[in-house]
Amino acid sequence: MRILLAEDDEIIADALVRALKRGGFAVDHVPTGTEADAALASQTYDLVVLDLGLPRLPGIEVLKRLRARKSTTPVLILTAQDAIEERVRGLDAGADDYMTKPFALPELEARARALTRRGTGQGRCITMGALSYDQADRVVMVGGQVVELSAREIGVLETLLLRAGRLVSKEQLVDHLCGWGEEVSHNAIEVYVHRLRKKLEPSGLKIATVRGLGYCLEKPDAAT
């Protein structure tokens, strides 16, 4: 899952980036409204965490422009403006949730997980055949037994699960695993997929390779 964090306070931004990355998200950070608007116009995100008091372009204008482009990307407003009128204004402009500063990191992480689940149309737990994946706790189980996966392996599996039955390119996997300034090579993606195949073998699920294009997690009825 990839998040755009639009926050001009460096201390808050640094803490949020570290916390969200620990939670398994790929995070891109911008400190101004103009940069946020440009990023949202050119890239796709699973969630936007948006400060209203951004320099150059107010956060509320970033939100309005996002919705004017018919984007349904979930938006969590994070701001020091706690008046009821400001909350109503933000929600009416198209925000999905609203938190005021100061805030508790665990609560923000929980709200981020809830909004990304809502955006994908999935519940907390994704089940496919003998495999179940808890998106909140990032726990994978096969036949009731926990399967130990690295954070990157979970990221690849989550992306494939959310697009089960559809082709997922290596570029899409890289986009969902990495924020700006991070790099994952196509060779690394191949390694993660190879490891997943071995670890998920007892589940009966098959990750098919579409040569030159990417991968497809076959649904159980298609894999049999």
Which residues of the chain are in CATH 1.10.10.10 domains? Answer: 125-223
Which residues of the chain are in CATH 3.40.50.2300 domains? Answer: 2-120
Report yes or no: 139 and 192 within 8 Å, Cβ to Cβ: no
Q: What is the pLDDT of residue 138?
A: 83
114-132 burial code (b ≥16 CB/10 A, e <16): bbbbebbeeeeebebbbbb
In the predicted model, what is the mean pLDDT of residues 93-120? 88
In the CATH hierarchy, which top-level class contains the domain 2-120? alpha beta
Residue with tokens 């991070």: 182
Topology of the domain comprising 125-223: Arc Repressor Mutant, subunit A (1.10.10)
In the predicted structure, residue 224 carries a pLDDT above the cut 50:
no
Q: What is the pLDDT of residue 181?
A: 64
Instruction: Classify residue 129 as left (phi > 0), alpha (psi -120 to 50) or beta.
Output: left
Report yes or no: 50 and 62 within 8 Å, Cβ to Cβ: yes
Q: What is the pLDDT of residue 123?
A: 55
State the DSSP H helix or E strand holding residue 97, giving kind and residue range, or none if neither.
strand 97-100
Q: What is the pLDDT of residue 172?
A: 87
Report yes or no: 115 and 189 within 8 Å, Cβ to Cβ: no
User: pLDDT-based confidence at 212, cuts 50/70/90?
Assistant: confident
Instruction: Classify residue 74 as left (phi > 0), alpha (psi -120 to 50) or beta.
Output: beta
Q: What are phi and psi of 153, to 5 degrees?
A: -65, -40
Q: Express each pLDDT in 47-81 by its tens digit.
A: 999 999 999 999 999 999 999 999 999 999 998 87
Helix (H, G, I), strand (E, B) or coil at 144: coil
Q: What are phi and psi of 168, to 5 degrees?
A: -125, 120
